[in-house]
């Protein structure tokens, strides 16, 4: 399965269009999704985007919740009710709606960030802050995981 990887920065043109990175368009094309499925991220001031892979993940999440439950209703509202399917033009550009831009704080530039089965669209300064925070958390987690693994490694060496 193809993955969305890497990050790319682009500016919105005078008509508010932005080019989807060519490698991301290639993944969408192989995925068979016509357009771009986008919803406000639940975790960040960013946009989650993708094709059938992202939709399948959302379907699975919602399908595992009890029918007619408040949880199912909340997730459905947040992930389907606020979603948009954007059309790519012949040059691989989309127009981000005002609702999407307001959620992510996007004005005239974006950063596309691959996350495997989906990608995110960020306002560049917000992404820089998010990346710095993520790196710090990963560094701390790495130390924590490394420390918890050391006793078992040394114990195995003594046996």
pLDDT score at 150: 56
Distance of alpha carbon 153 from alpha carbon 158, whole angstroms: 9
* This prediction's pTM: 0.87
Distance of alpha carbon 102 from alpha carbon 83, whole angstroms: 14
Provide the CATH number for the domain formed by 7-124 in this structure.
3.40.1550.20
Q: What is the DSSP letter of 88?
A: P
38: closest CA among 103, 89, 107?
A: 103
pLDDT score at 154: 47
Note down pLDDT in tens along the chain; length 159 residues. 589 999 999 999 999 999 999 999 999 999 998 899 999 999 999 999 999 999 999 999 999 999 999 999 999 999 999 999 999 999 999 999 999 999 999 999 999 999 999 999 999 999 999 999 999 999 999 888 886 665 554 455 445
- 74-113 CB burial, b ≥16 within 10 A, e <16: ebeeebeeebbebebeeebbbbbeeebbebbebeeebbbb
Asked if residue 51 lies in contact with residue 27, where contact means CB atoms within 8 angstroms, the answer is yes
């Amino acid at each position: 399965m193809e993955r969305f990887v890497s990050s790319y920065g682009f500016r919105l043109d005078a008509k508010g269009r932005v080019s989807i990175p060519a490698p991301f368009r290639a993944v969408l094309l192989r995925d068979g999704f016509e357009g771009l499925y986008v919803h406000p991220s639940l975790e960040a001031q960013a946009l989650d985007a993708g094709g059938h892979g992202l939709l399948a993940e959302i379907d699975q999440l919602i399908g595992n919740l009890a029918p007619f439950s408040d949880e199912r209703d909340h997730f459905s509202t947040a992930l389907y009710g606020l979603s948009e399917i954007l059309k790519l033009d012949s040059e691989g550009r989309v127009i981000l709606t005002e609702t999407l831009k307001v959620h992510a704080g996007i004005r005239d530039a974006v950063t596309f960030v691959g996350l495997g089965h989906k990608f995110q669209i960020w306002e560049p300064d917000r992404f820089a802050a998010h990346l710095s925070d993520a790196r710090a958390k990963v560094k701390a987690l790495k130390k924590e995981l490394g420390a918890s693994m050391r006793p078992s490694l040394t114990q195995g060496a003594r046996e």
